[in-house]
Structure 1
Amino acid sequence: MLEILKAIIFGIVEGITEWLPISSTGHMILLNEIMPLKVSDAFYSMFEVVIQLGAIMAVVILFWHQLWPFGKKNNKEPLAESGAGAYVKWDIFKLWFHILVSCVPAAIVGILFDEQLEALFYNYTTVAIMLIIFGIAFIIVETMHHGKKPKVRHLTGITYKLAFYIGLFQLIAAIFPGTSRSGATIVGALILGISRTVAAEYTFFLAVPVMFGASLLKGAKFLIHNSMTSMEGMILLVGMLVAFIVSLVVIKFLMGYIKKHDFKVFGWYRIILGIIVLICGFAGVIGA
């Protein structure tokens, strides 16, 4: 029962930190130091990635009309001249092509070097440093862009070139835990002149193939070499369900928040948390 309660807490943390630009991986590492799940190392390595599936489903449900490219007769251009009444939203198809371009850098590096990168950088020092670096980046970028009108104010304004550049920022997060995938892509998008709302939406949409892919890869690797106990299965399901529910609330909150505010508060939070992590690490409170 205690492990199920822990799974609920992990799900809450995942649901909050996956979408706010404050690093879900960093928080999950810290949470596991403070309140470790009594599971095998192999299962936990898989769990902290696959739990993201719950968070992804929240995006799919909330933004379904912006993600599903097919519609009924009164929508956009016809899919075929068969008289079947099936129509396709070409803007959404184009958006998906842009998303795939953004996925390429992280996908290549993740597939080829996942285990090596985890061995090198999966530690509190990296998490703390990246929390601080991107915290500073948020403050600097928002200060520099204060009062300026963004060049891109709609998803249709994102070109293949911009999509690739955003993918390079996402690659940083794929390599260094503590960066925050959403944090890296949002900072990158802001630097490229994309509005906060569009930056956040594109980040959410980009998460769908990236996190599905990462979850399937981790899950497959685990099942090939390990078996899952009934308790571990319950922990995973509970964590995913809670992450899904919390994500629904957090995504709605963030989209409303950034219409009136900038991202500086998240930058300051990251800096403060990064300093705390470094202090705790040097004091031996958390592991190396």
Structure 2
Amino acid sequence: MTYWHALLLAIVEGLTEFLPVSSTGHMIIASALLGIPATPFTKLYLVVIQFGAILSVLAVYWRRFIQSIDFYLKLLVAFLPVVVVGLLLKKYIDALLESVAVVAFMLLVGGIVLVFIDRWFPQEDPGEGGRPVTNPNWRQAFTIGVFQCLAVVPGVSRSAATIIGGLTQKLTRQAAAEFAFFLAMPTMAAAAAKDLYDYYKEATAKGIDVAQMFTGQELKLLALGNVAAFVVALLAIRVFVGFVTKYGFRAFGIYRIIAGGILLIMLALKIPLILV
């Protein structure tokens, strides 16, 4: 992986992590298009640069993180379902992460859902008590967490699954999007920590010292990726919330359908994905 590759993948991560278009799917596609080998470090890089993206949430919403312990407890309740599913299905999830076909199909299916989601959950519908819900209760938080489990399949989009879960619980578009941002922090941090630990175990099993786990260039690539993902995600969050509040999710659905359709056609015609 070159510095140019690392920068492009970090930009893709920052742009797509909090949009309902599947950041993992886009990075798998980008890696294939750029011809980046699927080495252990490359796979780790795609996960670890999420640290930079999640820090952007803290930078934008830092006041929310100092309000009350209730905020953290609800995030924990929402986070637990994906922990259980992730631990039970990790072997199968890792296998799916190498499949562009799975990504393409799920982009298409998810796009169809997003095209109609605004009709299914119009914002004028009242929430509990006759008012739109802006702060989920315990049950709603857990339900949103269950929806997040769908995102273990690459191409589904963690953001899309979580936002849709929020909409089913009568949250406003803005509240659903923001709760998806907040839930991303423990989810992505845990995924990155787990991959780092697995990488460490493999290195020690080969007799590699901890200080030699990464080369100087690999450390620079990780630093570059996290900084770039942070900056780009910071801008993406600000734009996304305003956009979906005003226009809804239809545009993202259309984009997913086009992207997934093109990929499926390329795969069916056996057109090489590697461009460089």
Partner Cα separation in structure 1 for residue 262 and residue 33 of structure 2: 14
Does the aligned pair in 1 maintain the 2:123–2:173 contact within 8 Å?
no
Q: Secondary structure at the match of 2:47?
A: helix
Q: Deviations along 1:245-278, whole A, 9 cap, x unmatched?
A: 0011110111221231111100111111110111
Does the aligned pair in 1 maintain the 2:127–2:133 contact within 8 Å?
no
Q: Which residue number corresponds to residue 177 of structure 2?
A: 200
**The structure with more radius of gyration:** 1
Superposed displacement of residue 101, structure 1? 1.0
Match of 2:217 among 222, 227, 231: 231
Q: Which residue number corresponds to residue 124 of structure 2?
A: 148
Partner Cα separation in structure 2 for residue 93 and residue 134 of structure 1: 34
Match of 1:282 among 260, 268, 272: 268
CA 1:3–1:46 in 2, change beyond 3 Å: closer, same or farther? same
CA 1:263–1:120 in 2, change beyond 3 Å: closer, same or farther? closer
Give the RMSD, CA atoms, in angstroms.
Answer: 1.8
Superposed displacement of residue 147, structure 1? 5.6
Q: Which residue number corresponds to residue 118 of structure 1?
A: 94
Query: Is residue 96 from structure 1 mapped to residue 72 from structure 2 by the alignment?
Result: yes
TM (norm. structure 1) is: 0.85
Does the aligned pair in 1 maintain the 2:134–2:171 contact within 8 Å?
no
CA 1:121–1:251 in 2, change beyond 3 Å: closer, same or farther? closer
Superposed displacement of residue 155, structure 1? 4.0
Superposed displacement of residue 16, structure 1? 0.3
Match of 1:247 among 224, 233, 253: 233
TM (norm. structure 2) is: 0.89
Query: Is residue 168 from structure 1 mapped to residue 167 from structure 2 by the alignment?
Result: no
Partner Cα separation in structure 2 for residue 184 and residue 130 of structure 1: 12
CA 1:268–1:214 in 2, change beyond 3 Å: closer, same or farther? same
Superposed displacement of residue 5, structure 1? 1.4
Does the aligned pair in 2 maintain the 1:137–1:267 contact within 8 Å?
yes
**Residue identity in the other structure for 2:81:** P
Q: Which residue number corresponds to residue 26 of structure 1?
A: 25
Q: Which residue number corresponds to residue 210 of structure 1?
A: 187
Q: Secondary structure at the match of 1:185?
A: helix
17-26 or 146-155, larger mean C-alpha shift: 146-155
Partner Cα separation in structure 1 for residue 122 and residue 58 of structure 2: 32
Q: Which has the higher helix share?
A: 2
Partner Cα separation in structure 1 for residue 163 and residue 234 of structure 2: 19
Structure 1 outlier segments of 4+, above 2 Å: 144-150, 152-156
CA 1:273–1:104 in 2, change beyond 3 Å: closer, same or farther? same
Seq. identity, %: 35
CA 1:143–1:239 in 2, change beyond 3 Å: closer, same or farther? same
Q: Which residue number corresponds to residue 3 of structure 1?
A: 2
Superposed displacement of residue 191, structure 1? 2.3
Q: Which residue number corresponds to residue 53 of structure 2?
A: 55
Q: Deviations along 1:46-79, whole A, 9 cap, x unmatched?
A: 11111100000100111110012xxxxxxxxxxx
CA 1:267–1:113 in 2, change beyond 3 Å: closer, same or farther? same
Does the aligned pair in 2 maintain the 1:16–1:246 contact within 8 Å?
yes
Does the aligned pair in 2 maintain the 1:101–1:163 contact within 8 Å?
yes
- Long gaps (5+) in structure 2: 204-212
Match of 1:266 among 252, 256, 260: 252
Superposed displacement of residue 223, structure 1? 2.1
Superposed displacement of residue 119, structure 1? 1.4
**Residue identity in the other structure for 1:286:** L
Partner Cα separation in structure 1 for residue 229 and residue 123 of structure 2: 36
CA 1:283–1:199 in 2, change beyond 3 Å: closer, same or farther? same
Does the aligned pair in 2 maintain the 1:150–1:195 contact within 8 Å?
no
Q: Which residue number corresponds to residue 73 of structure 1?
A: none
**Residue identity in the other structure for 1:61:** A
Partner Cα separation in structure 2 for residue 168 and residue 272 of structure 1: 28
**Residue identity in the other structure for 2:50:** Q
Give aligned pairs, total. 261
